[in-house]
Amino acid sequence: MVEEKITTAFIRDLPKTDLHVHLDGSIRIPTLIELAKQAHIALPSQTEGGLRELVFKDRYQNLSEYLHGFGMTVSVMQNEAALEQVAYEFAQDNYDEGVRYLEVRFAPQLHMHKHLNAIMVLKAVDRGMNRARREANARPEVASGSEPPFEYGIICCAMRMFTAGFSEYYGDLIHAHRYTPPKEVYGMASMELARAAVKARDEHGLPVVGFDLAGEESGYPAGDHYRAFEYAHRQFLKKTVHAGEAYGPESIFQAITDLHADRIGHGTYLLEADAIRDEEIADKEQYVQRLGEYIADRRITLEVCLTSNLQTNPNVVSLDDHNFSKMRKHRLSTTICTDNRTVSNTTVTRELELAVRHMKLNRHDLKSIIVYGFKRAFGPGTYLNKRDFVRRIIDYYKVIEKKHFGEVA
């Protein structure tokens, strides 16, 4: 039975993380409207209500419809001022609901053109995030040490595949290598981004903490991006890979072997033997059992996004049947994330509420999931910095528990 004591107010007050959230899927709708007007970009509606009805819905017919809104958000984020504003507001929104560590991910190459290179894109996003961080940490409660600070990291997303229409950068790359097999061009873009991510961290001091691979899994294997992830691995840049979101366990296996993934984005089909497509895998049940054991043993964390999965995956009819329950039963390392705050019309608080309600979590379960989000974060700072930060989070968690319950679980 679900504990009635776990209220929205309690979850909102708790210190939280979001380790899997896309910047271009989390723009404030009024800001989208404002930036579209400035750039003379037509939108289906000029009101938030209209865009909620037509574009950013509670449910979608399919993944294509879900992704439709990204074309609009990315189109208005093509200059430094817009990127900085969106990042600043994004960080504010997270801080206001109790998020104390945030890893913002996005694909810099979607915003690149002849006037804007990868470093400029990353610097613009960092300026916005850092401005929100400075304002949050200047509050007396944080300065005095009674509340933990707000920290963040940046994750650069490479794309499994792209077309010339994705951005000017991708269009130019495809044109320059029009006689090259597409998968090699995809790998070139990933390698260029991996080098830019390391340069941004090492030469420009930006908090780039991870490298990601996003996009369509079916037909676009992670192995096409091996060189980029091998480079990131050798440069001690942590890796997370979208895998098992719309494809079987083999995709997850490739992510943790070929790409050295430290975390898995979604991982919905991790334990689903029926989702295996590789005909060479004879004993499917044994395969998922061993894969699950491998991931559990190495504490490879699954970044679970409940609402997003419900909206994009036709096999997830109800959250009561989501594989998160099975993941928890197998004691896998999991953390609850939003994926896209605007496109999925959600918050971290709401996602945790959904987990409590549909997966019958008690206070101990909830605390374990939240604390693991901080422990498996890619930042902030050194390992010792991170240990100190996690300790402050745990101490503050107890303060919030005492505030709401008068005792600590």
Beta sheet of 301-304, edge-to-edge order: 16-22, 99-106, 151-159, 208-214, 238-243, 263-266, 301-304, 334-336
Please state, in angstroms and rounded to a whole number, the distance separating the CA atoms of residues 148 and 52.
34
pLDDT recorded at residue 312: 86
Q: Could you give the 3-state DSSP secondary structure of residue 24? A: helix
Q: How many alpha carbons fall within 13 Å on the CB side of residue 318? A: 5
DSSP string computed for 335-374: EE--B-TTTTT--HHHHHHHHHHHHT--HHHHHHHHHHHH
Contact predicate 158/189, CB 8 Å: yes
Choosing from 245, 303, 353, 401, the catalytic residue is 245
- Write down the residue that tokens 């409207």 correspond to: 33
Contact predicate 37/86, CB 8 Å: no
C-alpha to C-alpha distances, 144 to 102, 137, 348, nearest whole angstrom = 22, 10, 26
Contact predicate 299/266, CB 8 Å: no
Say what angle helices 182-202 and 168-176 make with each other, to 10 degrees: 130
Please state, in angstroms and rounded to a whole number, the distance separating the CA atoms of residues 148 and 136.
10
Please state, in angstroms and rounded to a whole number, the distance separating the CA atoms of residues 346 and 235.
35
307-360 pLDDT, tens digit each: 999 998 877 888 988 999 999 999 999 999 999 999 999 999 999 999 999 999
Longest dimension (CA), the chain: 68
Question: Domain for residue 154, yes or no?
Answer: yes
Question: Domain for residue 120, yes or no?
Answer: yes
* 77: CATH: 3.20.20.140
**Could you tell me how many residues make up the chain?**
409
Question: Domain for residue 38, yes or no?
Answer: yes
pLDDT recorded at residue 62: 75
Question: Domain for residue 2, yes or no?
Answer: no
Q: How many CB atoms lie within 10 A of CB 285?
A: 11
Please state, in angstroms and rounded to a whole number, the distance separating the CA atoms of residues 247 and 296.
20
β partners of residue 101 = 17, 151
Q: Please say if 285 is a catalytic residue.
A: no
> How are the residues of the chain apportioned to helix, strand and coil, as percentages rounded to the nearest 5?
55, 10, 35
pLDDT recorded at residue 58: 82
| H helical segments located in 235-274 | 249-257
pLDDT recorded at residue 4: 60
Question: Domain for residue 264, yes or no?
Answer: yes
pLDDT recorded at residue 109: 98
pLDDT recorded at residue 321: 85
Question: What is the residue range of 319's domain?
Answer: 8-405
**Arithmetic mean of pLDDT over the chain:** 95
Closest C-alpha among 228, 238, 240 to residue 190: 228
Q: Could you give the 3-state DSSP secondary structure of residue 115? A: coil
DSSP string computed for 274-341: GG---TT---HHHHHHHHHHHHHHTT-EEEE-HHHHHHH-TT---GGG-THHHHHHTT--EEE--B-T
Number of domains in the chain: 1
pLDDT recorded at residue 2: 41
- Write down the residue that tokens 């080098």 correspond to: 195
Please state, in angstroms and rounded to a whole number, the distance separating the CA atoms of residues 308 and 123.
28
Question: Domain for residue 300, yes or no?
Answer: yes
Residue ranges for the chain with pLDDT beneath 70 = 1-4, 408-409
Please state, in angstroms and rounded to a whole number, the distance separating the CA atoms of residues 249 and 245.
10
18-54 pLDDT, tens digit each: 999 999 999 999 999 999 999 999 999 999 999 999 9
Contact predicate 87/104, CB 8 Å: yes
Question: Domain for residue 1, yes or no?
Answer: no
DSSP string computed for 209-220: EEEEEES--TTS
| H helical segments located in 20-100 | 29-38, 48-54, 63-75, 80-96
Question: Domain for residue 3, yes or no?
Answer: no
